[in-house]
Structure 1
Amino acid sequence: MTAIGIYGSAGRMGRAIAAALSDYGATLAGGIDAGGDPAPLASLADVLVDFTVPGALPANLAAARAAGTPILIGTTGITQAHRALVAEAAQEIAVLQTGNTSLGVTLLARLVREAAARLDSSWDIEIVEMHHRAKVDAPSGTAQMLGEAAAAGRGVALGNVSVVGRAGLSGDRAEGTIGLASLRGGTVAGDHQVIFAGNGERIELGHRAEDRAIFAHGAITAALWLAGKPAGSYSMAEVLGI
């Protein structure tokens, strides 16, 4: 049985993952939270999952590297500096970093990329996401992931074409840009909609998370797939085989 260690075990995702492990025949190697030492758990686990905060990522990655343990990173709000650390770690261990562990969202990202590749820049792309009132980062990691999928479909970098929120006299929409808007309220687990707006028609691709458990189940599926993999950087798309 694969033993999964959880960084952020007391958080929403950590608790959901621990509760679902038995459904997959996996066991809990243990869990730690803020202030805990990540190194002992890294040595006990066959694979680690990290749903903490960006500030904890460097230490968690270092512990995983020292123990040679694969790690799935679902922490959102990470920066380019964090991404560089992830890429460095992937030279020594198997790493899967994602903004969303939902298998449905993974498929949505592929559909968005394919649509963007087939529709020219006269089709405006807008991404709208909504989450619960307690979410601290915006746009969501999933919205960023969907934006990156759309940008990849068009062969551009998201950072060069993204427009995050609009206020005041923002002027005409620039052709080729990708808009991201964030809504917060209630207990929404996660709603994402990607709108391709053309002249006289729209295509809307979306995903609604009705239960946080879907992220836990996706994370466990990905963690079990990652366990035993050689060093390298992996993706949720590879977990689905797409």
Structure 2
Amino acid sequence: MIKIAVVGASGRMGQTIIEAINQNDKVVLGVALDKGDDLSAMVDQFDVVIDFTRPEATLEYLAVCVAAGKSIVIGTTGFDESGLAAINKAAQQIPVVFAPNMSVGVNLSLKLLEMAAKVIGEESDIEIVEAHHRHKVDAPSGTALKMGEVVANALGRDLSKCAVYGREGIEQPRDRETIGFSTIRGGDVVGEHTVSFFMEGERVEITHKASSRLTFANGAIRASAWLKGKSAGLYSMQDILDI
């Protein structure tokens, strides 16, 4: 039985992960921690950490996992370049699953987006719209950025150069080489993402809507179980789902 440590246990996502663990017969809750608790003092109580907290906290938990030789599943978003570098370095020593979205449906959508971009991307104006609850602090969402990255890579573009996050003050026609992002924040929206490929006379839209955080929690637990016996490395949900 795989023992899981849930950090940020009193938060919305933490509570949902604990609920999902209790519904799963392949894993067990080893320890639940909140801010101020010392993960390093509990390394004998878990095999893998599931972390959906904040970048600064994640990097602290990551360091503990490296020192103890434990695996970690990271669903946290909003890392800067140094944070991403730290994750990549840690993955040289321990197994790390790092995904901006643990949902099976979202990761299937990423594959569909790659296919769509290769077929119609060059003839399309591409726009990404995402909506989340009022408490989400990073924008655009990590999932939206990942979707943009997948589309850009399929088209041989660099997202850092072709992304447009706002059009105020841009007084010129839309550049087809760009990928636009729009962000909505309000209410209790769990997460909605739509990528639209606008062509002359038609458009294709790929949409994912999450109605419960359990979809992310179950994906993280699936990732935790998949890590058993894996060697050090940086893994994504694409690896876990084999798509």
TMscore range, shorter length: over 0.9
Name the structure 2 match of 1:14. 14
Aligned partners of 2:154, 2:135: CA distance in 1, in Å? 32
Aligned partners of 1:195, 1:31: CA distance in 2, in Å? 40
Aligned partners of 1:148, 1:169: CA distance in 2, in Å? 23
SS in 2 for 1:215: helix
Name the structure 2 match of 1:240. 241
Q: Does 1:193 align with 2:200?
A: no
Aligned partners of 2:179, 2:134: CA distance in 1, in Å? 25
Aligned partners of 2:178, 2:110: CA distance in 1, in Å? 18
More deviation, 28-37/143-152: 28-37
Name the structure 2 match of 1:204. 205
What's the CA shift string for 1:25-55, capped at 9, x where partnerless?
1111112222222313344211111111011
Instruction: Report how many residues are paired.
Output: 242
Task: Give the gaps of 5 or more residues in structure 2.
Answer: none
Aligned partners of 1:51, 1:65: CA distance in 2, in Å? 18
SS in 1 for 2:23: helix
More deviation, 162-171/219-228: 162-171
TM-score by length of 1: 0.96
Aligned partners of 2:191 and 2:209 also within 8 Å: yes
Task: Give the gaps of 5 or more residues in structure 1.
Answer: none
Aligned partners of 2:10, 2:172: CA distance in 1, in Å? 45
Classify 1:170/1:95 alpha carbon distance in 2 versus 1 (closer, same or farther; 3 Å). farther
Name the structure 2 match of 1:49. 50
Classify 1:85/1:200 alpha carbon distance in 2 versus 1 (closer, same or farther; 3 Å). same
Name the structure 1 match of 2:138. 137
More deviation, 179-188/115-124: 115-124
Aligned partners of 1:109 and 1:146 also within 8 Å: yes
TM-score by length of 2: 0.95
Percent identity over paired residues: 45
Runs of at least 4 residues off by over 6 Å: none
Name the structure 1 match of 2:115. 114
Amino acid at match of 1:234: Y
* Equivalent residues in 2 for 1:20-35, closer than 5 Å: 20-25=20-25, 26-35=27-36
Q: CA deviation at 1:225?
A: 0.9
Cα RMSD between the aligned structures?
1.3
Aligned partners of 2:121 and 2:197 also within 8 Å: no
